[in-house]
Amino acid sequence: MSEPTTLDRLHEDRRVLRHFPLLGEPLPQPRLSVELFPPKSGPATETFFTEVARLAAVGPDHLTVTSGAGGGEQVEATFATVRELQERFGLPVAPHITAAAVDRRDVAALAERYTALGVTRVVALRGDSTDGIGQPYRPRPDGFAHASDLVRALAEAGRFDIGVGCYPEVHPESADAATDLAHLRTKVEAGASHLITQYCFDTDRILRFRDACHAAGIQAPIVPGIMPIHSFAQIRRFSGMCGATIPEWLAELFHGLDDQPELARMVATTVAAEQCRRLVAEGFDSLHLYALNRADLTLALCRLLGRRSLQLVPPDRMAAAA
């Protein structure tokens, strides 16, 4: 039998020392970012801003806005959404910029436009293939082959705090965990300042991922991505495409709840809150919430994390406030 490695010993130490906080136990207040995607036009737009107005009541530290792989129109939709969010709510907003959507020659100009808006933080991602999620990535003719190339261009073009994606369960296109960590290290060396994880329902795996990053010399702060489950059927489909695992215990919790949405929401809030509280107890000081443009589960989660002192305005009054 081979001798345990330093990383093996670190994993064992973490397992022994792991802390499972009790509900009500005082914990440090984490910084919270909330991820949104640009709304479609028409009635969806006002519904979007009504939901964001409700989210703003719990004082997220900043918002982020996603961008698709289609280029032109989607880049502009992200820009317009960032601008209007800042104007309406006065919150810092970080746009997503994807290698799949921008050409090399356009990055400096886009960075200047965001700087003019007062944006100081961006999220730089490779993005999905223009052929669809799960399809092999093909760079644009004048684009970036890797997220690290985009990070480097953004670092040269502006003074941004640059977040990048990372994968506790390994990127679905990576050969193995070591290769994935090597790519992540390259992004940090290119200028990334913090790492936002893909959602992962196995909290132990997030902790092991942090250990592996530290062992590999990657010291940038890790921000766990938290996915409140609005629809278990939807999250199962999406997880199959992005490589996230659905643990058996999670599937059992939602079994039989397809026609009981209220009960499903209660279960979803409990699952997300337990994961968040444990991550905070384990030393994470920032969390990234995938809100999917809906306020209810994120608001309930924030309450359970201790953001209870801010006044919550009823939804019917939020439309006028927005």
**Cβ-proximal residues to 271 (8 Å cutoff; 6+ apart), any chain:** 201, 229, 250, 253
How many Cβ atoms sit within 10 Å of the Cβ of residue 26?
A: 7
Residue numbers annotated as active site: 35
Nearest one of 292, 259, 289, 253 to 273, comparing CA atoms: 289
Check if the beta carbon of residue 74 is closer than 8 Å to that of residue 105: no
Check if the beta carbon of residue 30 is closer than 8 Å to that of residue 281: no
SS3 290: strand
Alpha helices in 158-289 (DSSP H): 177-190, 203-215, 232-242, 248-254, 261-281
Q: How far is CA 293 from the centre of its chain?
A: 13
Alpha-carbon distance values, 143 to 283, 284, 302, 318 (Å)? 38, 34, 39, 41
What's the angle, vertex CA 304, arms to CA 301 and CA 308, rounded to 5? 100
Compute the Cα dihedral for 293, 295, 301, 307 and give only its sign: positive
Name residue 123's beta-bridge partners: 96, 163
Alpha-carbon distance values, 20 to 196, 298, 308 (Å)? 23, 22, 22
Q: What is the token pair recorded at 125?
A: 């991602």
Which residue reads 């939602």 in tokens?
A: 254
